[in-house]
Amino acid sequence: MGFSMNIKKWIFGKSYMHSKEAIESELYNIRWAIENDKGYIERILKTGISQFLLKHMESLSFARIMDVGSGPVSYLLNFVRQNSDRFELTAVDALADEYAEIMEEFRCDVPRNIACYAEELDRHFQPETFDIVFCSNSLDHTIDIAKSLENMSFVLKDDGFIYLLCNINEKDRTSGDGMHYHNLNLIDGNLNNHGKPVHMPHLRICDFKIHIQTWTIGAEVFDVPRFELILRKNM
């Protein structure tokens, strides 16, 4: 399979790059999951919205949502379809074109997402376009977290919010496999990466929740600590 996007991206003189090995590892994992778990895509489509997120969405009569790092299919897809009078979804992922080839190969009937790095949102979308920016377990896949958050803020309306769901210290938990580059955590109410505060001068934390997610894969059970976070613009 050829790569439809340049592995190395240059933005304002800075390199944002996924190694060929990281991309191949990510695509292998998706292909393996579809081949060996016939309900994989269906379970993603059936994934509900967390009560924490719903609490912040319930007052919205209509919202345009961007899913950043959506993977092959957005976790929000079914929710938005069932509430199409209230929500509109745009899903983006750096490997969207590669995922689309896999989905076509396995005849998975899901929409094709937009190929875009989080660090390049400002080059593909107009400012203040979305009411909600949704980023579920993918911020640690970005090369530059600060730049990614800056661009999420760029596309966010002034009265909108960013929702982050992150596994805590995911790089250490996965031994850096694939695209797990960062160890994100909440320390003293601040977003940290590798124990240091993340630079996000345009954003402030408004709400958060820390919990344990239990996953069962075959005979193995995993308890994964994670956090949910609501960010709003500094006005």
The predicted-structure confidence for 138-187, as pLDDT tens digits, reads as follows: 999 999 999 999 999 999 999 999 999 999 999 999 887 778 899 999 99
3-state DSSP assignment of residue 166:
strand
Residue length of the chain: 235
Helices (H), the chain: 20-36, 40-46, 51-57, 77-82, 96-105, 121-124, 145-155, 170-173
Contact yes or no for 102/125 (Cβ under 8 A) = no
Task: Name the pLDDT band for 20 (thresholds 50, 70, 90).
Answer: confident
Number of structural domains, the chain? 1
What pLDDT was estimated at residue 5? Answer: 44
Task: Name the pLDDT band for 220 (thresholds 50, 70, 90).
Answer: confident
Is residue 1 in a domain?
no
Say how many CA atoms lie within 13 Å of 108 toward its Cβ: 25
Is residue 104 in a domain?
yes
Is residue 118 in a domain?
yes
Is residue 31 in a domain?
yes
What pLDDT was estimated at residue 112? Answer: 96
Is residue 139 in a domain?
yes
Work out the mean pLDDT of the chain and round it to a whole number.
Answer: 90
Is residue 9 in a domain?
no
Answer yes or no: is pLDDT of 53 > 50: yes
- Written as six digits, the tokens of 212 are 């344990």
- Measured distance CA(107)–CA(80) in Å, rounded: 22
- Measured distance CA(225)–CA(166) in Å, rounded: 9
Across the strands, what pairs with 90? 66
- Measured distance CA(118)–CA(71) in Å, rounded: 13
What pLDDT was estimated at residue 17? Answer: 60
What pLDDT was estimated at residue 235? Answer: 81
Print the domain residue range for 22.
15-233
- Written as six digits, the tokens of 172 are 């250490």
The predicted-structure confidence for 179-219, as pLDDT tens digits, reads as follows: 889 999 999 989 999 999 999 999 999 999 999 988 776 67
Answer yes or no: is pLDDT of 22 > 60: yes
Is residue 7 in a domain?
no
What pLDDT was estimated at residue 60? Answer: 96
What pLDDT was estimated at residue 12? Answer: 40
- The single residue listed with the structure tokens 């402030």 is 204
- Measured distance CA(176)–CA(140) in Å, rounded: 10
Q: What is the CATH number of the domain that holds 173?
A: 3.40.50.150
What pLDDT was estimated at residue 151? Answer: 97
Is residue 144 in a domain?
yes
- Written as six digits, the tokens of 115 are 């190929």
